[in-house]
Amino acid sequence: MNIKYRPLKAFLLAVDSGSFTHAANQLGVTQPSFTALIQDLEDVLGLRLFERTTRSISLTSAGQDFFARVQRPIADLEEAYRGLADLAAMRRGNVALGALPSTALTLLPAAVGALRKAHPALKVRVVEAHNDELVALLRTNQIEFAVGALAEPVSDLSFTPLTEDCFCAIYPAGHPLGKQRRTLHWRDVLRYDLILLSQGSNARQQFDRAVRDEVGAPATALRYDVTNMGTAAGMVRQGLGVSVLPRLALPELNLTGLGCTPLGDASARRYIGLLHRRDRSLSPAAQALVAQLETVIAGIAPQLLPLPPLAAAR
């Protein structure tokens, strides 16, 4: 049995209006076309659904039984279509995303703000976390996508680069690091007391890997281990040491009285991009937010320190 939606809708409109003429107007067809839809439905069912006269229509007993059975399913189907149409048109919807602290600080406020103006009905939930936590949240479907880094490819996640970032030495005004004319490297920073982001952060992981692989690096006394980038900048300002922070976060930090120089080591570079599960497609709301993120990244690029030339391998 092959029953199509349009004859069913015609049937329900006829019952609701009590007239083929009125129902045909509601469906946007001529009365002969409407009558043909009802006849096609009756032919498929093998039952007469309406008693028809020149002036009125009424349901047969079979028509009454059929109406009782199909009214709710058709209403549910139409509600489902409307709901999906609203999602597609972003008249409603939810998106949950995760972000590294550096990207949450610099990119997300502007991107989410622009999305809210364009689509006020969309709801956004932001989870700020370290990269390993973001990966775990993605794998357990607690977030739809993440703005983060990916040191090594993984089979179940897709990574789409958005921008290249690097780490920068942050030091007090008048510090010897600011007087060096050449590009700074990890070994230059390691000569001083350090104020680093805490274990688990992507910045700390990258620092630890770089120092482990650095040949002949000088010893350093790690004095401070902080969670917040603003705290690190404030402690540097007090002359407590130097720090290494992501270039992407610097426009939103208070760097008054501080100097900053990008590091030229390849191990000080990273790509920031979109992480999401390979077996899931991004919702329209998520795609709209990604578009805003791309716009924000393009707008913030002129504010960032230029990437230094990469140092030759030693």
Q: Give the pLDDT confidence of 226-285 residue by residue, as tens digits.
A: 999 999 999 999 999 999 999 999 999 999 999 999 999 999 999 999 999 998 888 888
Is 308 among the domain residues?
Answer: no
Centre a 10 Å sphere on the Cβ of residue 29 and count the other Cβ atoms it contains: 16
Positive or negative torsion for Cα 120, 121, 122, 127: positive
For the ranges 57-71, 134-148, 207-221, which has the lowest average pLDDT?
207-221
% pLDDT > 70, the chain? 91
pLDDT exceeds 90 at position 91? no
Given a contact cutoff of 8 angstroms between Cβ atoms, the answer to whether 169 and 261 are in contact is yes
- Rounded average pLDDT over 129-138: 91
> According to the model, what pLDDT value does residue 137 have?
93
Q: Look up residue 23 and give its two tokens.
A: 């129902």
Confidence band of 99 (pLDDT split at 50, 70, 90): very high
What residue type is assigned to position 170 of the chain? I
Asked if 81 and 125 sit in the same domain, the reply is no
Distance between alpha carbon 263 and the CA centroid of its chain, in Å?
A: 29
Asked if 258 and 170 sit in the same domain, the reply is yes
Is 309 among the domain residues?
Answer: no
Phi and psi angles of residue 196, each rounded to the nearest 5 degrees, phi first: -115, 155
> According to the model, what pLDDT value does residue 151 have?
74
Asked if 148 and 237 sit in the same domain, the reply is no
> According to the model, what pLDDT value does residue 293 have?
94
> According to the model, what pLDDT value does residue 143 have?
92
Distance CA 202, CA 211 (A): 14
Among residues 89, 116, 141, which one ends one of the domains? 89
Total of domains in the chain:
3
Supply the Cα-derived Rg of the chain in whole angstroms: 31
Distance CA 280, CA 69 (A): 36
Is 10 among the domain residues?
Answer: yes
pLDDT, tens digit, for every residue of 174-230? Answer: 999 988 766 799 888 988 999 999 888 888 888 888 887 765 555 566 788 899 999
Asked if 297 and 153 sit in the same domain, the reply is yes
> According to the model, what pLDDT value does residue 95 have?
86
Asked if 245 and 287 sit in the same domain, the reply is no
Q: Tell me the residue range of the domain where 249 lies.
A: 166-265
Asked if 190 and 261 sit in the same domain, the reply is yes
